[in-house]
Amino acid sequence: MDDESPSGRASGNGERAELTARLSVPEMDCPSCAKKVDKSLQRVEGVADVSLRPVTGTATVSYDPDRTTEAAVVEAVENAGYEVVSDESIDGSAASPAPHGTAAASGSDATGGSAAHAHAASSVAPPAAVWTSPRAKKTWLGAAFVVAGLLVEFVLTAQNVAVASVLGRGLSVADVLFLGAVLGSGLPVVRDGYYSARNRSLDIDLLMGTAILAATGIGYFVEAATLAVLFSVAELLEDYSMDRARDSLRELMELSPDEATVRRDGAEETIPAEDVAVGETVIVRPGEKIPLDGIVREGESAVDESPITGESVPVDKAAGAEVYAGAINTEGYLEVEVTSVAGDSTLSRIIEMVQGAQEKQTEREQFVDRFAGYYTPVIVVLAILTTAVPPLLISRPFSVGVAGYAITFAGDWGTWFVRGLTLLVIACPCAFVISTPVSVVSGITSAAKNGVLIKGGNHLEAMGDVDVVAFDKTGTLTRGELAVTDVVPLGGRSERDVLRYAAGLERRSEHPIAAAILARSEAAGVADVPEPSAFESVTGKGVRATIDGETLYAGKPALFEELGFDLATSRHRTDGGLVSGRAAGEDLPDALAELEREGKTVVLVGTDSALIGLVAIADEVRPGAARTVERLRERGVEAVMLTGDNEGTARAIAEAVGVDDYRAELLPEQKVAAVEELRSTHGGVAMVGDGINDAPALASADVGIAMGAAGTDTALETADIALMGDDIGKIPYLYALSHTANGVIRQNIWASLGVKAVLALGVPLGLVSVALAVVVGDMGMSLGVTGNAMRLARIDPERFS
């Protein structure tokens, strides 16, 4: 099989490349299941690395093809008691010649990305037919036998006659019916318990299988049948709830279309998306999804990028614009040149990172794993002691009053055997163990669908515990693009005159300020921008050129002061200082002082003898910045701005946005020091920046958040959390989601522990039956923690905007 795999190939030194089998194992849905599979795989010679994801029901196994095969890997998984499902049942197409999964070389993909796409396609187990599965049918059969047995045992007592004898023990009709229930519902449990014992795994399957066999062996048929049926129902309900939890991950995967319409040799052809190569042109018609990342080469349309960025408003796209796989073309016709293969698209990387996020455990999850390692053995020992010790110590029955009730203790073996059996049921830590991972996956997947990529459960947990959010200024609180904010005409001129001359002077300049002025003049409809001659740049101060036969200047106030102008009697500078002089005009001093006080860059336009007007330019504050800061403050989180800009500009932006504090004129290493200081004075710190220029500060914070990461590979890779769009308003939503997730995890952990503790205390007193232990302690709590975790998917970003 390995030689036939499209991705299996020789390495550069002549040795065969290591292969990776990616398998779908839907029934592997809890950490104990994963441990059992891992132990089985570790016994296969040639297996190099194993990555198991029980929340998604998938396994990724790297192996040496010279020492083992994928068939051996699959056999090892199935020897642990779990069926491996083929890719065909996942997406309806054969992703590789492998019968159960996809095999790919662990290095770069020789097929140009198809293996990576197959990986994304099989990264979540397929939907399961839980209620019509063979396990379900056996459970319903067992339940029917139990109901019939109970009717005969307690209602139709006259029909409960002896019908057989086994090893000297008579069997009644009810006994036979209960044994039928054990055979129908209990055999799958005993089978799973056998696999657990074989893999030396002390888990729920081994405990329940042992309990069913023991109860049957000593003739407690009612208890054995009840345990077998209720536990099987509990397993089905847990499978169903886990399948529902996986739905959110499947929805992510379904965002990208499987097929693309590509133009080849002048004709249109519909082919699988993974077969499209970089540089080819795909056709996207109205209503269709864009199949691959690319650049628009022809056509115009509004594109809904909400699956990627979370932005609800469609974005206008024309020739030269970048588009992402999974975005929806809402109205126009587009021809897109492909820039990345299917497995390397932004959406594919998001899906892969969401999957990988499961492997980064939170501190609480690590605690749960450690605790569970002690919990189960201790309870098993207590169950054994409960069964064996009381009958030896209690010579005659006695009663004890508890809360007004008389509880009788007797020394018969049967009573204490049932109580020990009940403790075995309670020994299962399933609800406790899954309480954290299902919450993490629910939170991370919900965030991804709203344009927020959280790279791990540890980052989700840390974000919920931050006390202060530090924002970079440029590109974060502001747009990061200079724009004209004010045009002030002087000497009887109009705004159009000021923009016309300013645009003419700046049209040959490549400075960002020039671009802002030209954009504003175009937006204002100034069509007769003059062509300058004798253009000259005055370094650091402005420009000079001849327009309409007259020499004009555009530049900083300092340039015009050199020309002899006294610009103000008293005005603020952007560094907070003052300069004195004689006013140059009636309107200028107040306007100039006010604009500079606001931290704006002022460009004067005029000749060497008269001023035409001034243009103020600034990096505009994002519309939602102030609201974001306000929302954070409402939730008890402080906001601080860290910037390399001068004091005046920083102060103006800080006042406009409403941050609690700001630090100006910071070098990158000084931003790191500021983050450390905030941590020492406030607590947890989240840093929000562009993911590149702020890399040191992002890395030093407890949580690094990158803005606008959809088009930035660096931000996707380096940030702890990435906002796929430029919507700063997602920060309050991110904090609320993370904070709520932490609360849900705490609720799940302590609720499952508390219920188990109460039940365990009630068992020796005879207050807890086997049925109650299964229904409440196992099935009820597993469903409860899963349902509680799914609440995170209902947190709406709009509530925090």
pLDDT digit string (tens) for 92-114?
Answer: 333 333 344 444 444 433 333 33
> What residues are paired with 453 via a beta bridge?
722
Q: Return the sign of the alpha-carbon dihedral for residues 402, 406, 412, 413.
A: negative
Rounded average pLDDT over 622-637: 91
The H or E element containing residue 198 is helix 187-198
Q: Name the 3-class secondary structure at 543.
A: strand
- DSSP-derived letter for residue 374 is H
CB neighbour list of residue 664: distance below 8 Å, 6 or more residues apart:
643, 644, 645, 646, 647, 649, 650, 651
Please count the CA atoms within 13 angstroms of the CA of 717 that sit on its side-chain side.
5
- C-alpha pair distances (Å), 757 with each of 10, 426, 779: 57, 9, 16
pLDDT average, residue stretch 508-536: 85
Nearest to 182 by CA among 239, 237, 138, 134: 138
The pLDDT score that the predictor gives to residue 235 is 79
Q: Helices 495-506 and 512-523, interaxial angle, to 10°?
A: 140
Sheet (strand 47-53) strand order? 47-53, 58-63, 19-24, 101-105
DSSP lists the bridge partners of residue 304 as: 328
Distance from CA of residue 405 to its chain's centroid? 51
Neighbour-count burial of 746, counting CB atoms closer than 10 A to its CB (0-12 exposed, 13-18 middle, 19+ buried):
middle
What is the predicted pLDDT for the residue at 311? 62
Q: What is the pLDDT of residues 274-286, one digit of tens each?
A: 889 999 999 999 8
pLDDT at residue 636, rounded to an integer: 92
Arithmetic mean of pLDDT, 323-351: 85
As a whole number of angstroms, the distance between CA 178 and CA 150 comes to 8
Task: Tell me the sheet residues that pair with 482.
Answer: 619
Helix H segments across 524-624? 557-562, 588-597
- Does pLDDT of 692 surpass 90? no
Identify the active-site residue in 472, 497, 690, 702. Answer: 472
Given a cut of 70, is residue 390 above it in pLDDT?
yes
CB-CB contact of 573 with 567 (8 Å): no
Q: Is 481 helix (H, G, I), strand (E, B) or coil?
A: strand
Residue 406 is predicted with a pLDDT of 66
What's the CA gap between 432 and 784, in Å, rounded?
Answer: 11
From 283, 280, 323, 281, select the one nearest 302 (Cα to Cα): 323
C-beta of residue 606 within 8 angstroms of C-beta of residue 561: no
Q: What is the pLDDT of residue 15?
A: 53
Q: Which helix H or strand E contains 760, and what residues bound it?
A: helix 730-762
Q: How far apart are CA 709 and CA 350, in angstroms?
A: 11
Percentage above 90 pLDDT, the chain: 13
Give me the amino acid identity at 472: D
* 284/269 Cα distance (integer angstroms): 12
pTM score over 0.75: no
* Averaged pLDDT for residues 116-129: 54
Q: How far is CA 497 from CA 488, 544, 711, in A?
A: 10, 17, 39
Distance from C-alpha of 722 to C-alpha of 633, rounded to nearest angstrom: 22
In whole angstroms, give the CA distance from residue 189 to residue 229. Answer: 10
SS3 of residue 799 by DSSP: helix
- The residues that bridge with 398 in the sheet, in sequence order, are 409
Token readout for 308 is 């990627």
State the pLDDT at residue 93: 34
Closest C-alpha to 337, from 288, 289, 286, 298: 298
How far apart CA 246 and CA 748 sit, in angstroms, is: 19
Q: 738 falls in which pLDDT band (50, 70, 90)?
A: very high
What is d(CA 349, CA 292) in angstroms, rounded to the nearest whole number? 12
Which pLDDT value is given to residue 95? 34
Residue 782, SS3 per DSSP: helix
- What pLDDT does residue 723 have? 85
Q: Is-catalytic flag, 472?
A: yes
Closest CA to 701 of 718, 726, 723, 725: 718
3-state SS class at 585: coil
The predicted model gives 765-785 an average pLDDT of: 81
The per-residue pLDDT for 7 is 39
pLDDT in tens, 51-68: 887 777 888 888 888 888
CA distance 749 to 364: 9
What is the spatial distance between Cα 443 and Cα 789, in angstroms, rounded to a whole number? Answer: 8
Task: Give the residue from 260, 269, 270 showing the smallest Cα distance to 336.
Answer: 260
- Please give the pLDDT value at position 158: 81
Crossing angle of helices 430-449 and 730-762, rounded to 10°: 170
The backbone torsions φ and ψ at residue 585, rounded to the nearest 5 degrees and listed phi first, read -165, 165
Higher pLDDT, 612 or 646: 612
Distance CA 723, CA 309 (A): 7
Residue 503 has pLDDT above 50, yes or no: yes
What are the start-end ranges of the H helices in 601-681?
Answer: 625-634, 647-657, 668-681
Beta-bridged to residue 172, according to DSSP, are: 162
Label residue 411 exposed, middle or buried (CB < 10 Å: 0-12, 13-18, 19+).
Answer: middle
Rounded mean pLDDT of 397-414?
Answer: 71
SS3 270: strand
Burial 748-769 (b: 16+ CB within 10 A, else e): bbebbbebbeebbebbbebebb
Distance CA 145, CA 177 (A): 5
Neighbours of 535 (CB within 10 A): 17
- In this predicted structure, the answer to whether residue 307 has a pLDDT above a threshold of 50 is yes
CA angle at 84 for the pair 78 and 89, rounded to the nearest 5°: 160
Average pLDDT, the chain: 79
Residue 716's pLDDT is what?
A: 59
**Helix or strand run (H / E) with residue 393:** helix 363-393
Helix (H, G, I), strand (E, B) or coil at 323: strand
CB half-sphere exposure, 247, CA atoms < 13 A: 10
Is the pLDDT at 637 greater than 90? The verdict is yes
- Residue 641's pLDDT band (cuts 50, 70, 90): very high
Alpha carbon 90 to its chain's center: 22
**What percent of the chain stands above pLDDT 70?**
83
Q: Which of 67, 64, 73, 92 is nearest to 25 (CA)?
A: 73
- Exposure string of 562-581, with b = 16+ CB inside 10 Å and e = fewer, is eeebebbeebbebeeeeeee
Residue 353: the pLDDT is 67
The CA-CA-CA angle for residues 603, 605, 611, to 5°, reads 125
Average of per-residue pLDDT across 532-560: 84
Give 627's contacts (C-beta < 8 A, 6+ positions apart). 729, 801
Q: What tens digit of pLDDT does each residue of 161-178 get?
A: 877 777 667 788 888 898
